[in-house]
Amino acid sequence: MLQSLIFDMDGTLFQTDKILELSLDDTFNHLRALNQWDTGTPIDKYREIMGKVWEALLPIHSDEMRKYTDDYFLKSLVENIRKGKGALYPNVKEVFSYLKENNCSIYIASNGLREYLEAIVDHYDLNNWVTETFSIQQIQTLDKGELVKTIIKKYDIKYAAVVGDRLSDINAAKDNGLMAVGCNFDFAQEAELAQADVVIDDLKELKTIVSNINSSLSI
């Protein structure tokens, strides 16, 4: 029986696009007010370089100003979530309810920061279904495979799947001997999804996947 599903957050459960541009605009408007920026908001560049974002977007600024900007951006993201300006992907709660009804535990493993993840979980009442949410901040290596391993060890999980939209999610599954479910959503890339065990276009497809797996194992 498929014991657990471990979900990514951004681009898998939460439609990050809904608040990304809005929060980036808030942040760069603030920089303009501080006379630290005088052109348009670099949203396209942000999409290209998610990772070491502020070094790339603010190449001539000090590390102190980059840290200040990053903190402000996080604050803006959280405020926009709490104002209801974001959204879950379709069918998240329907799928979560189905999984719980079928004795499948749910976890979240995300590269997002704790405060950001807590804002999403709280606003959408995801703790009604999710056993625990894990942030990459909880491990020193910042490796998603290690984060998933932490969940497996803590909850003694034997058979599970990782559900996510990026290669880091797929690799996290494979590194731990789990099934990798790739989500063909907003941030997904075809070459990365090709490495998943199965690819879905809608979260509701998980209901069929879980049902088929559990039926085959019960035979």
pLDDT of 49 reads 65
pLDDT of 14 reads 96
The C-alpha torsion from 218 through 200 and 96 to 110, rounded to 10°, is: 110
pLDDT of 219 reads 47
The CA-CA-CA angle for residues 165, 169, 175, to 5°, reads: 155
Contact 170, 164 (CB under 8 A): yes
pLDDT of 99 reads 96
CB under 8 Å to 8, separation ≥6 — which residues? Answer: 108, 109, 110, 162, 163, 164, 165, 166, 169, 183
pLDDT of 33 reads 92
pLDDT of 54 reads 83
Q: Which of 137, 169, 134, 166 is nearest to 153 (CA)?
A: 134
pLDDT of 55 reads 87
Contact 119, 82 (CB under 8 A): yes
CA distances from 140 to 35, 135, 150 (A): 36, 11, 12
User: pLDDT truncated to tens, each residue of the chain (219 aa)?
Assistant: 678 999 999 999 999 888 888 888 888 889 999 999 998 888 778 766 655 688 888 999 998 999 899 889 889 999 999 999 999 999 999 999 999 999 999 999 998 889 999 999 999 999 999 999 999 989 988 899 999 999 999 999 999 999 999 999 999 999 999 999 999 998 899 999 999 999 999 999 999 999 988 776 554
pLDDT of 9 reads 96
